[in-house]
Chain A
Amino acid sequence: MTTVAPSTTDLAARLDRQVPAVEVRDLRKTFRRRDRKAGRFARKRPWPALADVTFTIARGECVAILGQNGSGKSTLVRLLSTLLIDDGGEARIFGHDAFKEAATIRRLVNRVSVEASFFKKMSAAENLSYAARFYGMTPRQTRTAIPEILGEVGFPPDRRGEAMENLSRGMQQKVALARALLTSPVLLLLDEPTTGLDPRSKLEVQDFIRKVRGEHDATILLCTHDMAEAESLADRIGLLDRGRLLFLEPVEDVKRRFSVATLEEAFFAATGREFEEENGDDEYREVFA
């Protein structure tokens, strides 16, 4: 394996293998938002995005968190990637406190989000160079590492210099995956990585996630609302509903627990609602999705 971000792999090598990759205990996050229906001058009220969420992910495991829009999936990912400050509870990544040891966490974690977040006028190679420098990768290292990683995700070499704005959504998401992998994360947070992709791109991205899982000991937290994707990629599946984690267990255990044949039925059994059903609250909760 080529080590492309030496400082990160050095840190990863010093991690205690016995410590879980992720330990979350009673994690809470509440935002304050004004109720749109109550008018412009209405008082802001608290909207719990995460409520006492507790779970553990072992090193090398792939866990999928299912949830509707606004269920708190992205809030969880943002908390674990040091982009939000919690309102209570605890989150540890490889034993390091996610909030007090943010600098260490940032070397261990990377993320792919639903939005392709790039400088649109810059090319894929330029965007990747920019991201790689933050992790200590010099131009000499990226000169070989970027073509290599883009090749791994199936990005056409002749389009490396093309502005991101000219690339399809699927291509952009491949570059997003390459960006996350370039920095050698030991914890990969995938937040709806295939949402909005065409079926072929979706399959390619899923195949790549499988490949990453199969060949490396990376730990993956996949947040998605695609039940089939969760079922096919993850060792265990959790259901986050309105900020509460209802369960986190292997898919067969979920089906057995609720005596159902599908995850959709399990969701209905656990919440009393259809999975795709949206309500007024969710509209507001999308802000924190």
Chain B
Amino acid sequence: MSSGVGSTEPPRSVGPGSAGVGAGRYAVEMRNQLVGLFGIVERNVYLTKRYFLWDLAFMVWTIANTLTIVFIARAEHLAPARENRLATTLLVGATIWAFLGIIFEFMTETVAWERWEGTIEYTFMAPLSRLVHLFGQGAFAVLYGLIRATILFFAVAAFIGIHAPQANYGAALALLALGSLSFIGVGIMTSVLPLISPEKGAQLGFVCQGVMLVVSGVYYPVSVMPEWMQWIAKISPATYVLRGDRNSIVNGAGIAWADVWPLVIIAVLATPIGLAIFRVGERYAKRHGKLKRSG
């Protein structure tokens, strides 16, 4: 039999306290964590393949939904140039909304999904650092979200006949990538909710996502909202991504520092804070027996 149970190799009898962790062992651990991160992405690829028809259906639904928004520009009976500008503005908002929605959905469902499948305990008892686990989930969400957002943008633009010859797609993508780090951090914070309360947590995750998007100026400038909402908008990374990307695609602008520094600060703060919150949630779940699959 060639299974890997146990070890037949002679032990060198070092005690538990004398592990003597050297640079080599850190390198091995780092390698193992990277393989684990790859595993999370790979699993999501497998699942995406298995649920391909659902993905296709959601893609069609998202395109249809975005069209209903972008057609508003036609209904305004504006001059062609202004209509094109309004349609592009709405399309950028809808695309970023879709992108963020995917990241939040993936992050919020990190726990909820595995609990539903029944694999949560196996994932939590594996020697994978929580940062790598959650970051792997975020990394796939960003890749998957980017593919879907790109298809959405160009499909709707082609259907409506939007022209954006001046668009600076490079700057828009770069800002989106930077914003993604912030979104993953915020997503980690929301992903803990189902761990604390399986059903209510998932519901609260959706509420957080909705609140974040409504204050971030998806289809309108933040300035049209009441002042208290504008204050909340300042701490939402989506505000800066939407403003910057809209500027890059509609006006052809480059990356503005005014959009970059808030995203950098949020990214630097959100990931460790999110991770700390997740750790507290995980301890709570382990103390109260909430990891176990229910349902």
Cβ-based interface call for A194 (8 A) = no
> Assuming the A-B contacts A103-B127, A117-B121, A185-B5, are A134 and B16 also in contact, with contact meaning beta carbons closer than 8 angstroms in the complex?
no
Determine which of B2, B123, B287, B289 lies in contact with A2 in the assembled complex, contact meaning CB atoms within 8 Å: B2
Return A23 CB to nearest CB of chain B, in Å: 12
A212 contacts chain B at the CB level, 8 A cutoff: yes
Chain A residues positioned under 8 Å from B291 (CB to CB):
78, 83-84
The answer to whether B101 has its CB under 8 Å from any CB of chain A is: no
| Contact between chains at A133 and B42 (CB < 8 Å) | yes
CB pair B3 A84 closer than 8 Å: no
| A95 CB within 8 Å of chain B | yes
Q: A83-B124, A95-B16 are in contact. Are A13 and B50 (CB under 8 A)?
A: no
User: Of residues B4, B9, B12, B42, which shows the largest number of chain A Cβ atoms within 10 Å of its Cβ?
Assistant: B4
Contact status B4-A181, CB under 8 Å: yes
Instruction: Contact check, A83 vs B4: say whether CB atoms are below 8 A apart.
Output: no
Question: A275 near B: Cβ within 8 Å?
Answer: no
Map CB proximity to B onto A49-89 as digits: 1 under 8 Å, 0 otherwise.
Answer: 00000000000000000000000000100100111110000
Give chain B residues whose Cβ lies under 8 Å from the Cβ of A148.
Answer: 2-3
Which of B16, B122, B127, B286 lies at the interface centre, i.e. has the most chain A CB atoms within 10 A of its CB?
B127
Contact status B36-A118, CB under 8 Å: no
A94 within 8 A of B: yes
Mask: chain B, 4-45; 1 = CB below 8 Å from A; 0 = not: 111111111111100100000000110110011011101100
Q: How far is the CB of B24 from chain A (nearest CB, A)?
A: 11
Which residues of chain A come closer than 8 Å to B287, judged between CB atoms?
Answer: 84-85
A18 CB contacts on chain B under 8 angstroms: 13
Name the residue on B nearest A110 (C-beta): B125
Q: How many residues of A contact B (CB 8 A)?
A: 79
CA distance A118 to B43 in the complex (A): 12
The yes or no answer to B46 lying at the interface (CB within 8 A) is: yes
- Enumerate chain B residues within 8 angstroms of A2, measured Cβ to Cβ: 2-4
B1 within 8 A of A: yes
Instruction: Point out the residues of chain A lying under 8 angstroms from B117, CB to CB.
Output: 117-120
> Does B126 touch A at the CB level, under 8 Å?
yes
A148 to B2: give the CA distance in the assembly, Å: 8
B122 contacts A117, C-beta separation under 8 Å: yes
Whether the Cβ atoms of A106 and B125 lie closer than 8 Å is yes
Answer yes or no: A155 CB below 8 A from chain B CBs. no
Instruction: Judge whether A13 and B9 touch: CB under 8 Å.
Output: yes
Among B237-295, those with CB < 8 Å from A are: 283, 286-289, 291-293
A166: Cβ under 8 A from any B Cβ: no
Which residues of B have CB within 8 Å of A119?
Answer: 43, 46-47, 117, 119
Are B39 and A9 touching (Cβ within 8 A)? Answer: no
* Known A16-B11, A85-B287: A217·B6 in contact at CB below 8 Å: yes
> Any chain B CB within 8 A of the CB of A206?
no
Of all chain B residues, which has the CB nearest A178? Answer: B3
CB pair B6–A184 under 8 Å, yes or no, is yes
Tell me the A residues contacting B by CB distance below 8 Å. Answer: 1-5, 7-10, 12-19, 31-32, 75, 78, 81-85, 94-96, 101, 103-104, 106-107, 109-111, 113, 115-122, 126, 129-138, 145, 148-149, 152, 163, 179, 181-186, 188, 211-212, 215-219, 287-288
Residues of chain B having any CB pair with chain A under 8 Å = 1-16, 19, 28-29, 31-32, 35-36, 38-40, 42-43, 46-47, 50-51, 117-119, 121-128, 283, 286-289, 291-293
Q: List 23 A-B contacts (CB under 8 A).
A: A1-B1, A2-B4, A5-B4, A7-B32, A8-B4, A9-B4, A13-B9, A81-B121, A85-B286, A96-B16, A111-B125, A119-B47, A126-B43, A131-B126, A136-B28, A136-B31, A137-B35, A182-B4, A184-B6, A185-B5, A185-B6, A186-B5, A217-B8
Given contacts A119-B47, A122-B46, 17 further A-B contacts (CB under 8 A): A3-B7, A7-B29, A7-B32, A78-B121, A82-B124, A83-B124, A95-B15, A103-B127, A106-B125, A117-B119, A132-B39, A133-B36, A133-B40, A185-B6, A186-B5, A186-B7, A217-B7
